[in-house]
A = this chain, B = another copy of it.
Amino acid sequence: MKHGGDLTEAIARHGGDPGSWLDLSTGINPWPWPIPQHLPERAWQCLPSRAESEALLWAARKAYGAPGGAGIAAAAGTQALIQLLPYLAAPGPVAIVGPTYSEHALAWRSAGHPVIAIDDLAVCPPDAAHAVVVNPNNPDGRVTDRAALTRIATQLKERGGWLVVDEAFADVDPAISAVALCPDWPIVILRSFGKFYGLAGLRLGFAVGAPDTIERIAAALGPWPCSGPALLIGTAALGDQAWADHTRSKLEQQARKLDKVLANAGFAIAGGTLLFRLARHPHASRLHAALAQRHIWCRSFDWADDLLRFGLPSDAAGLDRLAAALSD
């Protein structure tokens, strides 16, 4: 299983249909921002206008606390930006702090950059032209602090390289964000809309960085990278501060409940964010298979046979179903 969130393979192997599975394989908020029943027809029919794009970028800038001197660009999901950045980056090796979301290494390698796997940003080798860190990291939730980011950004600036900071899960704790470091350093920050706002199918993500870098990214994305619905829904949701605050505390409560279920089943919580929990168990592989037979889908990892990652069940019934399956 390369990614979470795709039950196609699980269903092929274990039967059932998407509705009957308890899908805990993603880090997507199970309580999405409430999209309006009716979107205006022009959102579907017309090419997004410049005015609509600017409204979205303005809302994102505010939600993410991007300083005035930083640039910001929108894409059809941060994945589109992950794919693009290696083609725009100067030639040279990239150091990627891992284990982490595997698509970063894939994308840089595909674009011809040698990839150096490191386990801490502090040990970034001198021959790396670029560095990538997911912050907080997926799946362990590890946070790289701003001093460490600044240190490596200073080095990469001398080498003409970029520090890519993937803040896909930073919405749950905005204090983690390094947006304040733009535009002084060659930092490109990626922000995912779909995870925290629970609307991964919408495909919306952002890059924040120095204006000249962001201009190059926007030019390479070309006109109309985002759908009309993404522009309208993104603008409204990113402006909904009350929903964001309420959601953070709701996620916190549910994450604590999930931790308790996992602890009761003999797991040790090994990390995570409020959108997923990483848990250790000596029989993790066996438990993953047993849960799948009961149509509960979580993430396993090819680099660790004692770890599983669980997204948040959306309700008490989901928590109970997981608890019951784990106690079988």
A-to-B contact residues, CB < 8 Å: 3, 5-9, 18, 23, 26, 28, 32, 35, 37-38, 41-51, 76-77, 79-80, 82-83, 87, 103, 107, 110, 194, 198-203, 219-230
Contact = CB atoms under 8 A, between A and B. Distances in A.
Contact of A228 (B3, B87, B201): B201
B76 A223 contact: no
A7 B49 contact: yes
Given A8-B51, A227-B203, A228-B202, A222 B107 contact: yes
B201 A5 contact: no
Q: How many copies of the chain does the oligomer comprise? A: 2
Nearest to A43: B201
Given A227-B230, A229-B229, A47 B200 contact: yes
Given A77-B224, A227-B227, A46 B103 contact: no
B79 A222 contact: yes
Contacts of A37: 38
* Most chain B beta carbons < 10 A, residue from A45, A76, A198: A45
Contacts of A28: 45-47
Contacts of A222: 79-80, 82-83, 103, 107
Contacts of A107: 222
